[in-house]
Amino acid sequence: MTDYREMWSGLGLDLQTHDAVLEIVGKMYGEVYMSQKNRPKGMEYFDFVMSEIHGLRIKELMDAKAEGRKIIGTFCVFVPEELILAVNGISVGLCAGAELAFDAAEQFIPRNTCALIKSAFGFKLAKVCPYIESADLIVGENTCDGKKKAYESYKDLVGNLYVMDLPQVKSSEGKVLLKAEYQKFAKKLEELSGNKITKESLQKGIEIVNSKRKAIKRLSDLRTANPTPISGLDALLINQVYFYDDPIRFTNSVNALCDELELRIKTGVGVFSNKTPRILVSGCPMAVPNWKIPQIIETSNATIVGEEMCTGERGTRNFVANENLSTEEMINAIVDRYFNIDCAIFTPNNERYENIKQMAKQYKADGVIYYSLQFCQPYQNESISIEKMLEKEGIPVLNIDTDYSSEDIGQLKTRIEAFIERIKS
Ligand code: SF4
Ligand code: SF4
């Protein structure tokens, strides 16, 4: 096994705490992932990526930096990877899904802040995230109130934060704002990297990201089969790795896995029996290693067939048009694509309601488990009307509010099992 301690130390990580984090996550991964039955062989690649997520992948980033490439850390699917690739940069996700140093984080942000935001502070303060430490630029965005106020103090902690403004209404003025922000961001990237965005480089960036999204769409379409050829836990993992891995290698690996899944479907091979209740999970993003709810669902005789979340279809649906377009037209096409993201920060947010209904139908879901992080006002707010809408359509809904702790696992399991019984009857 390669020893990466020198690299981690060079990045300023606290080696003792970092060792402890790797041990806990490694153990958790073994319990949650390696205990699954009937996994496709193609998942071995993603197991490998996870085993090297703080090792080989960071080494690759450091090598790329040595060649002059810039690492751009992001917290939101509104940050266009196409622009980052167009300046030969590398985009990495920084959201974390574990409770770490929350006490220290509460010296900067209120206690009643969602766990996703708190963990961004916790991971920085505990010095355990090589992605944060290797980033040349960290991009924040004015989305929910929690994030936009948190960035005011996060900027002093990291020293290289760039905040992008975002519209909150899907109006023509909102679209003009998004375009202006993307143009500003493009300029910032050009300054940072010393590379100009050209027609060719932007076209290439768009192609790479479109291919990545097409591979994910292919995977999602295969999950409409019954029995489902892949578990929801594995599909979530792929959606999480989406934010870290080299995009071309990732796309090839997802497509290779899809080839295998197509064969499984042809021969009727599935992960669970075809009588297993099918669940659509909807709500806040689930960052690594937040596997709590999917694990409970899939060890309670149900399977997840789709994710209506940013670590899922909200983040990956829709492609950017790029055929025979000028640079300006490609920027417009990027704005068009991202302006469709139906994050709950938008008001009104009718597209999201339609998308959930459509997903429930497409994936033949027997029920929806709506997942909100505690103190996440946008998603908690929408949970009430979404539940009413879906129940009216005859789709059972279970609304869950939780955080990153393990304290409520027993209670959640009881509620989820009761919900699955309700679906069955
Ligand atoms: S939920 Fe909204 S704010 Fe969070 S990553 Fe998704 S789009 Fe961004
Ligand atoms: S989970 Fe909710 S409160 Fe937390 S960052 Fe995302 S939108 Fe904001």
CA distance 193 to 195: 5
Q: Nearest ligand to the C-alpha of residue 374? A: 2
Who's near 298: CB < 8 A, 6+ residues apart?
A: 36, 231, 232, 233, 272, 304
Structure tokens at 246: 């080299």
Strands of the 71-74 sheet, one edge to the other: 90-93, 71-74, 137-141, 161-164
Per-residue pLDDT, averaged over 164-176, amounts to 98
CA distance 102 to 126: 10
Is the pLDDT at 323 greater than 90? The verdict is: no
Dist. CA 343 → ligand 1 center (Å): 6
Dist. CA 139 → ligand 1 center (Å): 13
Task: Report the pLDDT value the prediction gives residue 322, as an integer from 0 to 100.
Answer: 86
Is the pLDDT at 252 greater than 80? The verdict is: yes
CA distance 342 to 400: 20
Mutate to test the pocket of ligand 1, among 143, 145, 375, 376 (most ligand atoms within 8 A of CB): 143
Dist. CA 41 → ligand 2 center (Å): 34
What is the helix (H) or strand (E) element at residue 340, kind and residue range? Answer: none
Question: Across all residues in the chain, what is the average pLDDT?
Answer: 97
CA distance 201 to 83: 9
**What's the gap between Cα 267 and its chain centre?**
31
Which protein residue has the closest C-alpha to ligand 1 atom 1?
Answer: 343
**Ligand 1 nearest-atom number relative to CA 144:** 3
Residues with CB under 6 A from ligand 1: 76-78, 143-144, 285, 310, 341, 343, 345
Residue matched to tokens 């090589």: 130
What is the helix (H) or strand (E) element at residue 335, kind and residue range? Answer: helix 327-339
Who's near 7: CB < 8 A, 6+ residues apart?
A: 58, 59, 62, 130
Structure tokens at 314: 């909200």
Dist. CA 297 → ligand 1 center (Å): 23
Task: Report the pLDDT value the prediction gives residue 187, as an integer from 0 to 100.
Answer: 98
Of residues 189, 104, 109, 188, the one with CA closest to residue 155 = 109
Higher pLDDT, 425 or 380: 380
Contact 412, 293 (CB under 8 A): yes
Instruction: Tell me the pLDDT band of 293, cut-offs 50, 70 and 90.
Output: very high
Which protein residue has the closest C-alpha to ligand 1 atom 6?
Answer: 310
330-355 pLDDT per residue, tens: 999 999 999 999 999 999 999 999 99
The percent of residues above 70 in pLDDT, for the chain, comes to 100
SS3 at position 386: helix
Per-residue pLDDT, averaged over 272-298, amounts to 98
Is the pLDDT at 180 greater than 90? The verdict is: yes
Which protein residue has the closest C-alpha to ligand 1 atom 7?
Answer: 343
The percent of residues above 90 in pLDDT, for the chain, comes to 99
Task: Report the pLDDT value the prediction gives residue 58, as an integer from 0 to 100.
Answer: 98
Contact 366, 423 (CB under 8 A): yes
Instruction: Tell me the pLDDT band of 1, cut-offs 50, 70 and 90.
Output: confident
Dist. CA 173 → ligand 2 center (Å): 24
Of residues 260, 272, 254, the one with CA closest to residue 217 = 254
CA distance 368 to 280: 5
Indicate the burial class of 349 (C-beta count within 10 angstroms; 0-12, 13-18, 19 or more): buried
**Ligand 1 nearest-atom number relative to CA 116:** 4
Task: Report the pLDDT value the prediction gives residue 425, as an integer from 0 to 100.
Answer: 87
**Ligand 2 nearest-atom number relative to CA 343:** 7
Among 215-224, 316-325, 352-361, the minimum mean pLDDT is found in 316-325
**What's the gap between Cα 3 and its chain centre?**
29
